[in-house]
Amino acid sequence: MTERDKSEPEPPQLPIFIVSGGKGHSGEQLTRTALAQFKEADLPVIVVPHVQEVDQIKTVVDQAAETGGTIIHTLVDSKMRRTMIHLARDRNVVAIDLIGRVLSRFAKVLGQEPLGQPGEYWKIRQTYFERVEAIEYTVAHDDGRDPAGWPVAEIMLVGMSRSGKTPLSMYLSVLGWKVANLPLFADVPPPPELLQLDQRRVVGLYIEPGQLLAHRQQRQRHLGTSSLSPYTDPLKIHEEIETLRQFYRRSGFAQVNVTDKSIEESADEVIALVTRRLGLSPS
């Protein structure tokens, strides 16, 4: 075999068109994974995202026909997928359907028709990463830490010691909310950063004196001490709760009584309060 004459034209680099109703990430990733199995493969990969009109399919098929290209598509909309198959066949263009047979199999196994909505997988992935981000934020802003980051909080929980701020914050973060929390004390002024926040996002927790006393006594036993102190003095506890509730009212904070409530119940109430005060719809 003789070496090709340098004057001869370079062989065409046949393009691969990734056609998707969404962003085209899945088709592109699979295509590049396959190409990596071929040494010095240098085929152009052209992503054509957000294909939702027949004219868009016609344009891609025409381009593939003119350039000898290959179409790889992940169209979940059944009408668009059929259009792609028929138009590619008419123009003698190779069009590889990555999703059709998978959808058909799952429809048979699950006994239901697919949604036909592009981008659902990436919406799920985005939701996952948003929840991870919320959890990381909440852990970093537990117990009054990092006041500079409080303005980012979607919910700020405040309350007296042993009112359940941390477990409630963590539960809300698993639901996707960025939550900071801050312990308040009747005889200590709150940090100025708290009063600079959007008051609609601040929720003051309180608990009935008898239950708060029981929580604090349990905490003392866990720490190996049982001596009487203002921390477990019933009269002081009552005064502390009333002082902090007055502070909530003056500051325009919403209030949630967490007495005898599960974390789920308290979380539902917090979300309802914040979304209503912000004029949002609960998610």
Burial grade of 57 (CB within 10 A; 0-12, 13-18, 19 or more): buried
281: pLDDT strictly greater than 70: no
In tens, the pLDDT along 153-201 reads 999 999 988 888 999 999 999 999 999 999 999 889 999 999 999 999 9
Pairwise CA distance, residues 54 & 59, whole Å: 9
- What domains appear along the chain, each with residue ranges and CATH number? 16-118 (3.40.50), 124-278 (3.40.50)
As a whole number of angstroms, the distance between CA 184 and CA 159 comes to 5
What pTM was estimated for this model as a whole? 0.56
Tell me the C-alpha distance between 176 and 184, whole Å.
25
> pLDDT-based confidence at 152, cuts 50/70/90?
very high
Does 47 or 42 have the greater pLDDT score?
47
pLDDT band at 228 (very low <50, low <70, confident <90, very high): low
Confidence at residue 2, expressed as pLDDT on a 0 to 100 scale:
44
To the nearest 10 degrees (0 to 180), the angle between helices 209-223 and 234-251 is 120
Count the residues in the chain. Answer: 283
